[in-house]
Every structure is written in C-alpha cells, then in structure tokens.
Amino acid sequence: MGRSYFGTDGVRGLTNTGALTPDMVMKLGQAAGAKFLRGDHRHRVVIGKDTRLSGYMFESALIAGFTSVGMDVVMVGPLPTPAVALLTRSMRADLGVMISASHNPFHDNGIKFFGPDGFKLSDDDEDEIEALLTADPQLARPEEIGRARKIEDARGRYIHDAKMTFPEHLRLDGLNVVLDCAHGASYTVAPSALWELGADLTTIGVSPDGFNINANVGSTSPRLMQEMVKDTGADIGIALDGDADRLIISDEKGRIVDGDQLMARITKSWADTGRLKGGGLVATVMSNLGLERFLEGEKLKLERTKVGDRYVVEAMRAKGYNVGGEQSGHLIMSDYATTGDGLIAALQILACLVESGKPASEVLNLFEPLPQILKNVRYDGGQPLEQESVQAQIAAAEKRLGNSGRVLIRKSGTEPLIRVMAEGDDPALVESLVDDICDAVSKAA
C-alpha cells in the first residue's frame, strides 16, 4: 500500500474529509495500536491536542480506536506537541499522539504519532500503520478493552521541564517580552513559564475559542506581535505557532528574525561554551546560503536534509548533532527535546540576550541572508519535473548561478504544488531564473 494518508508530518487535511473523518481517525487509532501492542504489559498511549474545535471529536475517535484494541489512554488536554513527546517518554507510554494541524487554520486538523522514545515515527513505521488500515482490526476481548483517563498535572510537568532548560544562574527579571501564543496549544504553559522566570509579559493569542487558532496571530502571522513590540517598547517578541513546536522572533525594532538566524545564534553560543556536538548543525535544503557561509566562517558544518523537522531529527541522531532546525522556526535541541520546541528554543534565545546585555537586533542578526525567492506552481497531475524542457531550464539556471547561488525544486508534501526556490548574490538574476523555471513547469503541467 502506498502512502495515501501520511505526509511530511503525520496525517493532515480538512476536517471531516478524506483521512480526517471520525471513522478514519478511529481506524488510525486501531492500526497504530495494533502495531505498538508488544509484550504482555498494560499498553498505554498519551493523547494531546491543540485548541481546534475538531480536536474533541478526534480525541474521542482515537480513544475508541485505541481502547477497542486493548490500549489504555491517557489524555493530557491542550498541550504543545513537544510536551506530548516529552510525556510519552517520561510516562513510559507505548505511543504518543498529538491532534493538531500546526500552523494551519482551524478547519484543518492532523494526527502526529510519537514512538515510546518520544521521537516521531519513521517512514517505515507509518507505512506499516497504513498497511494495517486495510486489515480487519484485532478487537480486544471485553475484559481486555482499554481504559481512558485524564491527568491534571500534565501542564505543570511540561512547564517545570521547560524551565529547567534555562541556565540556573540567569533570570528574566526586567526583560519586557511580547508573547504571541496563536490562540493555540501553548496559551497557558508558555506565559506561565516566562512569567515564573521573571519576564514582564505582554500576551497575544491566549484566548482560544475553537475557531481562532492561527487567525492573524502566531509565527505565520507575526505582524501584530511586531507592532506590539514597537508600541510597548519591548526588548523582544516571541510568536509560537498553533502547536508550539516552532517560533519566530521580533527584535526590539519590530524586525523579524527567522529560524536561520536563530539557529546561527544558538549554534555559535553552544560552540563558544563547548556544548555543541557534531561540529555544526543540521538544517533543511531551504535554509539560506548565508547561514552556510556564516558557519563556514566559524569553522562549523551545515548538514542539509530534505524538508521536514522529522528528517532533521533523524540526521541529528544518525550523525551526532545536538542542534538542528528549519528556516520556518522549528528548532531542535536534542539535549532537551526529541522534536521542535518553540518554548525551549525561545528560552535559549532569551538566555543569549540576557547574558550579552545587548539589544536583540545586535545579538540575533549574525549574517546577511542572500536574496531568496520561492514561488509555487500548482499542477493537476503528471510528472512535470521529469519533462525535458523543465530539466533543461533548471540546468540552465544552475549554470548561470554557478558558485554564487543555488536552485532548489521540489514537490510539496501536503499540496499539489511544485515549489521553485533560488537564491544568490544578484537578486534580479535570482528572480528572473525563478520566473523562467516556473514558466517551464506551468507549460509542462
């Protein structure tokens, strides 16, 4: 069976369509439960969610699926994705599930799975779950049906663990922070953690109603956060996404600091203090060439992977790195977490700010990004990238850029789009080359 349901980050789509109906989500629970029923112990799955209205529906469907095959369920309520990963491992669960579509609008939702080690499942694991969807579930005998219960201290556990990653000798006293929680999963835990460490907070996006998650707030819509930083004279702004596994920063001038700059700052800080492992960091093919050049100047390496924080984590584990992430703001520090964690990443950035005593604009802008242009071309089927005309146009662009830039063409993992990206020292040339490739793809499609 092919990958009909799983994309680059679990199963995601429009609620009540395709794989995101209650019936299919129940079957996903049964299939995942069947795969992870190993040994003769009482099996346990941890289920968390963000603040979407449909989260309650899918939570119930998953509970029905898992308990019907004999797994006990522990519900932790609205919590960030990294908190679910943490609790899965710390509670010795066999499986963890996060119900979230991350930065997508409320009408989408998704299902992300974590193994007993707290890491996202591999492609092979997801393929096995997909294959089990076509088989009849092995339903438990009546006396072996699983039980479901909710724990009340999940938020406190995560807040405590997040705060423990902040240097013990530092405090946030006197630091003015604008915090945007996207009306999402971090709406209680992130403000609590920062306030308890001493920060003076102005909060945005902390009143979820089931429909407003990511609506003109959060890491993909940071304008309100930027304006609030300038209006209040804050030292820094932090915008998390709907499930709080990534962040975007604003400096004190209201200017965005993306994931590439944040990775550069953490990597250099950890290298300077002897904490860095692997001699560099892991990032995806989307990270700016300016980051790569900066790291070379610091005698550090950049290991690139395909797009998806799961692939970043896999490379980090395989090659011994402890810092990685994506330009979009997924930052992974494996000393502390098994997946991207926006709150923990923010605490590392705040630690750098406090220790330096300098403005965020000086601390967090370590290199000049190369002009980078990304455009999408929608297609209705076929293999446009295999057409000779498209390949010729890509080759011509690569030749013109030479060592002064690069071209990246890839299919989206979630939509019928071809993503065309180029970057280089000459912005006019970069834009022209991207337009030429887009034209060739459009004609081929």
Domain extents in the chain: 6-152, 158-363, 372-444
Section 198-202 average pLDDT: 98
Exposure class string for 152-183: b at 16+ Cβ within 10 A, else e = eebbebbbebbbebbeeeeebeebbbbbbbbb
d(Cα 118, Cα 87) in Å, to the nearest integer?
8
Q: Give pLDDT, residue 414.
A: 65
Query: pLDDT tens, 224-247?
Result: 999 999 999 999 999 999 999 999
- Considering the chain, what is the average pLDDT of its residues? 94
Describe the chain by its helix, strand, coil percentages, rounded to 5. Answer: 40, 20, 40
Better pLDDT: 414 or 30: 30
Highest mean pLDDT among 97-106, 375-384, 405-414: 97-106
Q: Which run of H or E residues covers position 201?
A: strand 200-204
Q: What is the SS3 assignment for 27?
A: helix
Identical fold at 158-363 and 372-444?
Answer: no
Q: Which fold has domain 372-444?
A: TATA-Binding Protein (3.30.310)
For residue 1, pLDDT beyond 50: no
Round to whole Å and give the CA distance between 71 and 67.
Answer: 5
- Highest average pLDDT, of 123-137, 277-291, 390-404, comes from 277-291
How far apart are the C-alpha atoms of 102 and 94, rounded to whole Å? 23
Contact 12, 5 (CB under 8 A): no
Higher pLDDT, 40 or 267: 267
Per the annotation, the verdict on 287 as an active-site residue is no
CATH no. for 6-152: 3.40.120.10
Angle, in degrees to the nearest 10, between helices 289-297 and 259-272? 10
157-194 pLDDT tens trace: 999 999 999 999 999 999 999 999 999 999 999 999 99
* pLDDT at 92 > cutoff 80: yes
94 within 8 A of 36, measured Cβ to Cβ? yes
3-class SS of residue 276: coil
Q: Among all chains, which residue has been given the structure tokens 């680059």?
A: 8
Phi, psi values for residue 382, rounded to 5°: 80, -170
Active-site annotation holder among 100, 102, 287, 334: 102
pLDDT tens figures, 142-157: 999 999 999 999 999 9
The CATH class of the 158-363 domain is alpha beta
